[in-house]
Structure 1
Amino acid sequence: MAFRLSNNLIGILNAITFLLSVPVLAAGIWLGVRGDGTECERYLTGPIIAIGVLLMVISIAGLVGACCRVTWLLWVYLVAMFVVIVVLLGFIVFAFVVTNKGAGEAVSGRGFKEYRLGDYSNWLQKRVENDGNWNRIRSCLQSSKVCKSLQEKRESWDEFIRTDLSPIESGCCKPPSSCGFTYVNSTQWTPGGANSSSDPDCNTWGNDASALCYGCSSCKAGVVATLKKDWKRTAIVSIVFLVFIVIVYSVGCCAFRNNRRDNHNRGGYNKQGGYA
């Protein structure tokens, strides 16, 4: 009875996992073959396909090992699951550590916050300050047109300062408030003012839609702030997933033990009469 229960349960769980892996893998392949895909989508193609293939291979190993009583395959499945548990646990701890520091700063009289790269963890700072990484991120931001919604608005100054901008919109689509630029529209500003040279980002800003503040430190800070928020959400979801994986792993251990016991009883050696 224990054999039936544990093996059937692990089979059902892995059948569900296999079905979930199919749309994940299909989405990754679809993003890769799209002719009009953005740089962001192409950047995600590899990881999505890898996750889909990993889920599919592990679920097939667990499904065949449990339902067909293939002990060695079930052993491989348990080793793979253990590695996934360790990696997932490491990611959760790492995500909370690197996202512990940093927050947006409220600006007097503004409805949005502004972000400084130096407020965040050194690891995140180094990742976005790396030229190779930032060139890909910048290309992704430009191709996805994150500032397009602001460019299409024709707000007055009073309306603009009450706008709740996202970290990337605040850091990449407008110059820092410390520059003292004169507002024309959401993405058009006239340089000038007493504080115009106090921040290096003031000289980096450009009114051209392909430039704006994509090269600014504030833009990098906005990206890091967004990553921090997304990573924390991902870490919380990962905790739930980790609990599920641990339960599946425990059931798999029971199925593995029962497989060995069943194989031993059917073909093992007994003390009274040699091989059964």
Structure 2
Amino acid sequence: MCNLSNNLIGLLNFLTFLLSIPVVATGVWLSKQADTECERWLERPIIVLGVFLLVVSLAGLLGACCRVSCLLWLYLFVMFLLILVVFAFTIFTFLVTNKGAGQVLQDRGYKEYRLDDYSNWLQKRVNNTHNWNRIRSCLQSGRLCSTFQTQFANDSAEQFFAENLSALQSGCCKPSNDCNFTYQGPSTWKKPEGHANYSNPDCNAWENDPNVLCYNCQSCKAGLLQNIKIDWKKVAVINIIFLVILVIVYSVGCCAFRNNTRERWKY
């Protein structure tokens, strides 16, 4: 295996180098086209990822094919750090997503979500005012609730209550079931006459204004965390597969480095 290791590492890094070019190009393109807070947030990690892949793949390619031991050593060092980071992030992902689930309601097709059900770390992220303002802007510019309004515009109350809503739709685009508001439309609800003391603070936060709705509600934050939980569980599975691949590539890289060292001592 060691006799083929240099060529194999060279080939893998050449493919990674080719992959990094469209990744960087995509990030740059997004930075030019960005109109929303979502796109502005997304472009930076894409560019960083692309540049990282570009630099690391070049180091591995030159180190393996040109027998430059210092570059190959740098490549292996970065790969080792990457393995540690991916392993730590995978464990962290499982820890912060092991809590939280939707609450089943009687005579309702959808679930409702409570912020207190999720991990403290995730709660702190969405309760940060600066973070939530950016997220709320992203949800609004993504037309989450306007699409929701159009999708269920012709529903009667009975039909709407039977709908299987997404976590974000349930949390951000309608009031909590605790409020007992009267249904007039998917995003239009009539509050009871007079002053009401609600046990759920989301009831006071709700407004029929399309720009307000329940974007400031705890249920909206909980709906977002439910989406994050589902996505991060998928990411954790992918990370495990990625981790196995990284370990294999790292092992082959160690053989290539050993080859370089042996050839240098021959001379």
Is the contact between residue 180 and residue 196 of structure 1 (CA under 8 Å) also seen in structure 2? no
Cα RMSD (Å) = 1.5
Deviation at 1:247, TM superposition (A): 0.7
Deviates more, 1:18-27 or 1:197-206: 18-27
- Please name the residue that 2:124 is paired with: 126
| Distance in structure 2 (CA, Å) of the matches to 1:192 and 1:235 | 45
| Distance in structure 2 (CA, Å) of the matches to 1:189 and 1:50 | 45
Deviates more, 1:190-199 or 1:41-50: 190-199
Is the contact between residue 181 and residue 196 of structure 1 (CA under 8 Å) also seen in structure 2? no
Deviation at 1:242, TM superposition (A): 0.9
Is the aligned partner of 1:219 residue 2:220? yes
- Please name the residue that 1:240 is paired with: 241
Query: If the length of structure 1 is used for normalisation, what is the TM-score?
Result: 0.92
**Identity, % of aligned pairs?**
57
| Distance in structure 2 (CA, Å) of the matches to 1:49 and 1:169 | 31
- Please name the residue that 1:209 is paired with: 210
Is the contact between residue 109 and residue 161 of structure 1 (CA under 8 Å) also seen in structure 2? yes
Q: Secondary structure at the match of 1:192?
A: coil
Code of the aligned partner of 1:164: N
Q: What residue ranges of structure 1 are gaps of 5+ in the alignment?
A: 268-276
- Please name the residue that 1:173 is paired with: 173
Match for residue 78 of structure 2 among 77, 80, 94: 80
Is the contact between residue 147 and residue 173 of structure 1 (CA under 8 Å) also seen in structure 2? yes
| Distance in structure 1 (CA, Å) of the matches to 2:196 and 2:244 | 53
- Please name the residue that 2:25 is paired with: 26
Deviation at 1:196, TM superposition (A): 6.7
| Distance in structure 1 (CA, Å) of the matches to 2:218 and 2:92 | 24
| Distance in structure 2 (CA, Å) of the matches to 1:156 and 1:196 | 28
- Please name the residue that 1:273 is paired with: none
Q: Secondary structure at the match of 2:183?
A: strand
Query: If the length of structure 2 is used for normalisation, what is the TM-score?
Result: 0.95
What do residues 141-171 of structure 1 show as CA deviations (whole Å, max 9, x unaligned)? 1111111221113211122112111111110
| Distance in structure 2 (CA, Å) of the matches to 1:79 and 1:206 | 54
Deviates more, 1:194-203 or 1:176-185: 194-203
Count of matched residue pairs: 264
| Distance in structure 2 (CA, Å) of the matches to 1:21 and 1:235 | 23
What do residues 57-87 of structure 1 show as CA deviations (whole Å, max 9, x unaligned)? 1111101110111000000000010111100
Q: Secondary structure at the match of 1:11?
A: helix
Deviates more, 1:153-162 or 1:100-109: 153-162
- Please name the residue that 1:185 is paired with: 185
Deviates more, 1:152-161 or 1:6-15: 152-161
| Distance in structure 2 (CA, Å) of the matches to 1:38 and 1:241 | 31
Deviation at 1:112, TM superposition (A): 0.8
The 5-angstrom pairing of residues 1-276 of structure 1 reads: 2-3=2-3, 5-35=4-34, 37-152=35-150, 153-154=152-153, 155-192=155-192, 197-265=198-266, 267=267
Deviation at 1:38, TM superposition (A): 2.2
| Distance in structure 1 (CA, Å) of the matches to 2:178 and 2:228 | 24
| Distance in structure 2 (CA, Å) of the matches to 1:263 and 1:124 | 52
| Distance in structure 2 (CA, Å) of the matches to 1:101 and 1:65 | 45
Deviates more, 1:80-89 or 1:146-155: 146-155
Cα 1:7–1:180 change in 2 (3 A) is same
Q: Secondary structure at the match of 1:189?
A: strand
| Distance in structure 1 (CA, Å) of the matches to 2:149 and 2:5 | 58
Deviates more, 1:50-59 or 1:144-153: 144-153
Code of the aligned partner of 2:160: F
Q: What residue ranges of structure 2 are gaps of 5+ in the alignment?
A: none
Q: Secondary structure at the match of 2:62?
A: helix
| Distance in structure 2 (CA, Å) of the matches to 1:189 and 1:22 | 50
Code of the aligned partner of 1:45: E
Q: Secondary structure at the match of 2:216?
A: coil
| Distance in structure 2 (CA, Å) of the matches to 1:10 and 1:196 | 67
Is the contact between residue 188 and residue 207 of structure 1 (CA under 8 Å) also seen in structure 2? yes
| Distance in structure 1 (CA, Å) of the matches to 2:148 and 2:139 | 14
Q: Secondary structure at the match of 2:144?
A: coil
